[in-house]
Amino acid sequence: MTDLVLPSETNPLNNLFGGELLARMDRAASISARRHSRRITVTASVNHVAFNHAVPLGSVVTVEAAVSRAFKTSMEIFIDVWIEDRFTGDRTKANEAIYTFVAVDDTGKPTEVPPLAPETDLEKERYAAALRRKQLSLVLAGKLPPSEATELKALFLD
Ligand SMILES: CC(C)(COP(=O)(O)OP(=O)(O)OC[C@H]1O[C@@H](n2cnc3c(N)ncnc32)[C@H](O)[C@@H]1OP(=O)(O)O)[C@@H](O)C(=O)NCCC(=O)NCCS
Which class does domain 2-116 fall in? alpha beta
Strand, coil or helix: 18: helix
**How many Å lie between the centroid of ligand 1 and the Cα of residue 20?**
23
The tens digit of pLDDT for each residue in 110-133 reads 999 999 999 999 999 999 999 999
Q: Other C-beta atoms within 10 Å of 50: how many?
A: 11
Q: What mean pLDDT do residues 51-55 have?
A: 91
Does the beta carbon of 39 sit less than 6 angstroms from any atom of ligand 1? Answer: no
Domain boundaries, the chain: 2-116
Indicate if the pLDDT at residue 157 is higher than 80.
no
Supply the mean pLDDT for the chain.
Answer: 95
Does the beta carbon of 108 sit less than 6 angstroms from any atom of ligand 1? Answer: yes
Indicate if the pLDDT at residue 158 is higher than 70.
no
Does the beta carbon of 140 sit less than 6 angstroms from any atom of ligand 1? Answer: no
User: Between β-strands 74-84 and 60-70, what pairing exists: parallel, antiparallel or unpaired?
Assistant: antiparallel
Phi-psi region of 53 (alpha: psi -120 to 50; beta: other; left: phi over 0): beta
Does the beta carbon of 37 sit less than 6 angstroms from any atom of ligand 1? Answer: no
pLDDT exceeding 70 applies to what percent of the chain? 99
The tens digit of pLDDT for each residue in 87-104 reads 888 999 999 999 999 999
Residue 52 sits at φ, ψ, to 5 deg, of -75, -35
Closest among 141, 128, 135, 137 to 153, alpha carbons compared = 135
Q: What is the pLDDT of residue 110?
A: 98
